[in-house]
Structure 1
Amino acid sequence: MNKWLQNDWILRIISLALAILLWSAVTDTSLSSSSSDTHIREATVQVKYDDEHYDLVGKPPKVELIVEGNQAFFGHFSTNYRLYVDARRVGAGTHQLPVQVKGLPYPVDARVEPARIDVTLVPKLQKEMHVEPELIGSVPDGFKAGTPVINPDKVLVKGTEAELKKVTSVKAIVNLNNKKKSVNQVIVLQAYGENGPLSNVEIEPKTAVVQVPISIPGKTVPLSIEPGKAPPPEYAVAGIDTNVDQITVYGPMSYLNHLQFYAGPRPDLSDITEDTTLVMPVPVHSPAIKVEPKEIKIYVKMIPAETKVIKNVPLEVTGLNGGVNARILSPSDAKLNITLSGAPKQIDQLGAADVRALVDVSNLSAGVHDVPIRFVLPSYVQVVGQDKLKAKIQILG
C-alpha cells in the first residue's frame, strides 16, 4: 500500500475524489439546509404617482408576500424591502397595476398575491383663497394688538374637487398670550371646513409671515412737579420749571380717560439754598405702564424766604362716617394761628382763605383722641415751627 501512496497518479485520483465530495457537501441542499418559504401577510403597498397633478383615492389593499429560497440565506433577510406599484405613467381613472418588490437579498425569490392591484387616481384641482388671521389669547392689560399683516395674503389650495368644496377658509393662527412686543412670526397655514380643520388638501405655500403690531395706548397730559421735601426755613422756592411741559403716559384706556395731569418726580430741596438744575427719572405710577420721556431736567430757583402769621385759620374735621359726630376740644375755638414761609411776593398775598387745616378722624372709635393737623397750602409755601401740631378731638357715638 505504501507503494500506491507513493504513486503520483494514485494521489491525483484521491485528491480529485475528495474535492468532488467537498463540492457536493456545499452545493447539495440535502447536506446544507432545506429549501423553504416565508409568508408575510397584510403587507403594505406604496403607490408612486404624480402627486402634483393627481390625488390617490383611498389606500391600496394589503397583499401577501411569499419569500422563497434556501434557509441559509434567510439569516440575511432584511426588513428594508418594500412593495410598490408604479402609477407615474398613467392618468386619471382606475388602473390594475403589478405589485413590485424591491430590497430583497440575492438569491431569495418572492412573489405577491394578488400580483396586481387596483389604483384609482383623480385630477388634483386648485383654487386661490385669502389667508385669514386669527388671534388667540390676549395681551396684558394696557397693551393693544393692532391689525395683522400677512405675507402672502393669498395662497393656492389643492385637492380633489370633492375636498376643495369642503374648504371654507385658510387661517394663520397667532397666539398673543401675554406678548408685550410686536409679533413677527412664520405661521404654518391650516385649511378649515364647517366642522373644523381639513387634512386632505394641500396649501401652497404652506407658511406665511404674520406681523401683529402690539402697542400701548398713550395720552399726553401736563406734568406736575411738587417738592418732596421743603427747602431750609430761611429759603423759599421762587419757581420750579422743567425742560418739558407735558408728558406722554401709557396704560389702560380706563385709566387714561380720567387722567388730567401727571405727578412727576418730587425733588428733595432740604439742602438746596441756590438756583439748581436737577436731572431726575419720571416715576411710573400704577396703573401706568410707561412714560415718555423717562427722565427730565428740573430747574429750581431759590430766594431768601419771608414769613407771615395767618390768624384764625379754621380747623376742619374730615372722615366722619354716617351717624358719628366729633367735637373739637382743643384748640378751644377750633381756630389756629400759623406761621408760613415762602417767597416774598407769594407770602404778601396770602390770607386765611388760602390755607386749610384738617384733622382726619376716619376709623376712630368713640372717645378722646389727639389727632395730627394736616395743612393744605399753596405751592412752595410751608408751615414753620408748627409741623407737629395736634388737635384734641372727642368722637361721639
Structure 2
Amino acid sequence: MDKWLKTPWFIRVISLLLAIGLYVTVSLNEQNATRPDGTIFPKTSNEVATINNVPLQVHLDEEKYVVQGVPQYVSVSIQGSTSVVEATARQRNFDIFVDLEGLEEGTHEVKVQHQGISNQLSVQMEPETLEVTIEERATSEFKAEVEMLNYEDMDDGFILGEPIISPETVSVTGSKSEVDKVAMVKAIVDLTGVTDEIDIRNAPVKVYDQQGNELNVYVNPSTVHVQIPLEVGRKEVPLTYTTTGELGEGISLESISLEQDTVMVFGQAEVLNGIESIDNLIIDLTNITEDKTIELVVPIPPGVTRVEPITVNATINVEPTETVTIENIPIQVTNLEDGKTVSFIEPEEETVAITVFGTAQQLKDISEEQFSASINVEGFFNGEFETVIDLKGPDGIMMKPNYNNARVRIE
C-alpha cells in the first residue's frame, strides 16, 4: 500500500482533483456574490412583456349584423419564463378576439379573449372588456359627386369642365341606422397646384349626413377615378329656336317664349371665335294641344366642351283658331319678257282671296295691305302655262288662298 501511494501517477491524480475542486469553489463564490438570496444554483427567470397594436378580431355573422364600439387594436401583456415570453412576443402566433356569435341586436358588455398563447404564461389585455352595439346590416347604392377643395387657389384663367366619375355609383354598407342617414357621397379632389386636366385615379370617397358629418360606414369602392377637363374660355351667345310639326286643327300658336335668350358656351378660343349664336334649338308643335311649358336640351356646337345652362324652358301659348278672309288680292306678274303680254285664264279676275288663320289677337289688326300675291313667268315662251301663286303676309300667320296655281297665256 505504501508503495502504491508513493507512485507518481497517484500524486498526479490527487493534484488534478484538488485543482478541479478549487476552481468550482471559486466560480460558485463569484456567482453567489451577485445573487440576493446567496443560493448556489440559479433559479428560472420571470419576465413581463407588453405587445402593442395587436389586431382585435370580431366573431360575428357579418352578413346580418355590424358592430360598433370595437377598437381595431388592443395591447397584450404576458408574464412567464424569459424564453417563452420572448418567443411569444416575437412570433405573435396567437389571436385576440371578441365572440359576438349568438348575440342579438343591442348593447352588450363582452370579454376580450385570446387563443394560441402558451398556458405557461399569464395574460392580461387592455381593454379586458368592451361595450359593443350590434345593429342590423344594410347596403345601398349611391351616386358619387365631386367635392373640390381649394377651388379659390386655382388660376382665374382656368374654368373647370364637367367632372367624369368612374364608377358613378358606390355601395355603402353599415348599420341600417347609419345608412339611412346618408345624404351625400363625395369624391374628394384637391385643386391645389392644378395647371392641367385633372386625372385622379384614387380619389377617396367620403359619406356624409344632412348636416355634413362624416358617417362611420364601409364604402366599396373606397376610391374612384375622377377626370375634370380644364376649359380656357367662355362666351355668351344668343339662343334662338325654330319650330317643326303643326298644331292640331282648331288651335293656333299665340306665342313662344324662352326662359332665357342667351347661353354661355365653353371651349378653346379658336372654337369660340367661330360661334355667333345657337340657332338650332328645335320646338316640336305636333303634340301641343294647350298652353304648355317644355324643357329643351340646348344643342352643343361642334368643338364646344359644354354649355350653360344645359336645358331651357320654352313656354308655348295657344288659342282657338279664328279666320279672316281677305278678298281681291291682285296677282302681280314678274319677269315678263319685253314685248310680251299675259292674260289670265284662271282665275279670270286676276285676283285671289286669302283665308287667314290665327288667334283673335293675331287677326285683330290684319288688313289687305299686309298681303300680296304674284306669279313668276321667267323663261316662259308663247303659249299657255300653269304656275304657282306666291303669297306673302305677316310672319307667323297661316294663309290659304282660294287658288294655289294660276293658268296664263303669253303672247
TM-score by length of 1: 0.40
Q: Structure 2 length as normaliser, TM-score? A: 0.39
